[in-house]
Amino acid sequence: MEPNPNVAAAIASAESASGDEKAAMAARYESILADLPSLASPAAPTAADLNAVFDSFFRQSPGLVASRAFLTTFVNTLKGIENEQLWIDVGTRTLDKLAAQPSSYFDAAATLYELLATAHENNDDFLDAAKALAEIPLDSSQRKVSDEDKARVWVRIVRNYLEVGDDTAADVYVNKLKNIMHTLLGLDAARAEETTARMIEQGRLVGRMDQLDGTVWFQGGEASGEKGSRRADVVANKEMRRWDANVEGLAEDVESVINSLQKEFPAFVAANLVS
């Protein structure tokens, strides 16, 4: 499908001035994106319009700084068009194109994966939403991500996996959440390790510790609460949805994490973890 003639003309004009400085070139393409609704009028901007602008820009060898500025505007333009299928089509294609670039654009990729996940969630495609969220770069040395932001992403992943009954995949992210709880709640690692070990020994938690790896693996299940039993009582929340036994335990784990965060970070929970 070809782009709107007005969009194509604006792109041709930008390409004809390609000898300008990179910052000026980026500004021209950002201007096209800002004018896209009027250029595409009376119809809404299409995937062909957005893809044509993207492709033309990167044909100019724009450089890293100009590219990041352009991508910020490009992604915001895409988000501003309320069309979930467009988010999926353009977002997926853009991510593929960025993966082929010599430079890494982690911030743009993260925003696009979140946009894809939102579109999939709105379409009840929860597995695809979980997979999109799992692709968000959270541990790159080139992109610093706070534990609060990691928690927000991981809670969404857990919820999506629970929606499709994949408690095994959800359990992976529940453990990721629990392993950063000491940071979120202001506990140092040594104190968190000591407290967790004591609770496992007393039978108040079900799990095991890997001190070399610095992780704790938690397990759902009923428990006696007896010292040394390594089993803990799991109290069913009557407000939870009717999952099978394993999924219900995981859902309770997630709720426990959210409740703990609520005490220390009420604004964060209200903005990111409460639907």
Q: Are 232 and 225 in contact (CB under 8 A)?
A: yes
Which has the closest alpha carbon to 274: 156, 154, 161, 131? Answer: 156
What pLDDT band is residue 171 in, cutting at 50, 70 and 90? confident
Residue 224 lies in a domain: no
Segment 196-214, tens digit of pLDDT: 566 566 665 556 666 555 5
Residue 179 lies in a domain: no
Mean pLDDT for the chain? Answer: 78
pLDDT > 70 fraction of the chain, expressed in percent and rounded: 65
Residue 16 lies in a domain: yes
Residue 29 lies in a domain: yes
Residue 249 lies in a domain: no
Q: Facing residues of 209 across strands? A: 216
Distance between CA atoms of residues 19 and 26, nearest Å: 12
* Structural domain count, the chain: 1
Residue 51 lies in a domain: yes
Residue 262 lies in a domain: no
Residues 219-240 have a mean pLDDT of: 41
Domain span at residue 72 reads 5-141
| Secondary-structure breakdown of the chain: helix, strand, coil percentages, each rounded to the nearest 5 | 65, 5, 35
Residue 78 lies in a domain: yes
